[in-house]
Amino acid sequence: GDGGGTWYIDLKTKGGSAGFGKPPVTADVVMSMSSADFVKMFTGKLKPTLAFMSGKLRIKGNMALAIKLEKML
């Protein structure tokens, strides 16, 4: 929604987890974007690579893992 927030996907632990707020473990990759662009990306209206190249998606951390996450989207 308009307020957005901090969400995490934990793929380090067995079974994985996802949730709202601070992740339970230190993140290897942190991605930041507006909530409007997030919705566009997850509905297929904005490609992750284009979002990154245009500055709509900011990535900090392990870029190789970020590229693997793109396949999940």
Q: How many CB atoms lie within 10 A of CB 67?
A: 14
Handedness of CA 9, 56, 33, 38 (dihedral sign): negative
Tokens coding 37: 């662009």
Contact 10, 16 (CB under 8 A): yes
Handedness of CA 54, 59, 62, 66 (dihedral sign): negative
Residue 66 has pLDDT above 90, yes or no: no
Q: What is the model's pTM?
A: 0.77
* Structural domains in the chain, sorted by start: 7-72 (3.30.1050.10)
Per-residue pLDDT reduced to its tens digit, 19-60: 999 888 889 999 999 989 988 998 999 998 899 999 999 999
Q: What is the pLDDT of residue 73?
A: 63
Confidence of residue 13 (pLDDT cuts 50, 70, 90): confident
